[in-house]
Structures are given as C-alpha cells and as structure tokens.
Amino acid sequence: MTEGVIVGFDFGEKRLGVAIGNTLTREAKPYKIIDSRTNASRWQGVSAVIEEWSPVALVVGIPRHPDGTAHEMTERCERFARQLEGRFHMPVKRVDERYSSAVVDSDADFIDDEAASIILQQFFNESDTYE
C-alpha cells in the first residue's frame, strides 16, 4: 500500500466517529463526528472527509462479543465497510473493536471520534505493513 493518510471509522447508527492518521507517523488522532441518522448525511460526511484528506486506505472497527462471536452491529459494520469499498474503490481494513469504547472516557457524551482514533491506532499497532 502507498504511504499516506489513513482514515478510521467507528460506525454507529446515530453517529460516525472519524479519525485521521498516516503511515509515516503511525499515530491516530480524533477528527470529527458525522451525523449518521440518515444515509444521506452519513455519505455526504464521509465523502467530504475523503475528498479533504485523499486517504490511501480506510479502517473500520468491527464490534464483536467478548468471546469473539458476532452480534447485531457486527454485520452492520461489515456492510458499511463493503459500501466504502464499493463507493470509493480503495482498500478498507477491518479492526476488531471489541474493547475500544471501554478505553475511551465514558463520561463524555460524544466519544465516537475518540473511539475511531483508538480503532485506527490499533490498526497501526497491529500492522507491520499496510498490504
């Protein structure tokens, strides 16, 4: 994979957390929260982020139960990842996000961008290469 910006997403039905990082520094930072209550607002927000940052890849957190089994949101996140691939024609990596929300300060009302940052940082930490 080409070096450059990678955008990470924490998918939610109401909000979509977004984080930005790059392959050089391998550091993720919270970027923004996109209104995800309608498909139109979700895709408009995602398109704007991709247009602004021109990423080389995308990362999506895939939630699972602590034992690794899928639950209701697992397939929704997988579907979102497939839609990203189809709409933007770029690599979309999946990251097990089982414990990402537990790491974020749960006292805050809107933690979606921070959760996305944790997911993206996990991708950087676990990836030796970006292929």
How confident is the model over 67-125, as pLDDT tens digits? 888 888 999 999 999 999 999 999 999 999 876 555 555 555 678 999 999 999 999 99
pLDDT at 93: 97
How confident is the model over 22-38, as pLDDT tens digits? 999 999 999 999 999 99
Q: What angle do CA 36, 37, 41 make, to 5 degrees?
A: 60
Q: What is the tally of helices (H) and strands (E) in the chain?
A: 4, 5
pTM for the model: 0.89
CATH number at 5-16+27-126: 3.30.420.140
Residue 1 has pLDDT above 90, yes or no: no
Domain spans of the chain, in order of start: 5-16+27-126
- Selection from 14, 95, 17 nearest residue 57 by Cα: 95
Q: What angle do CA 30, 112, 18 make, to 5 degrees?
A: 45
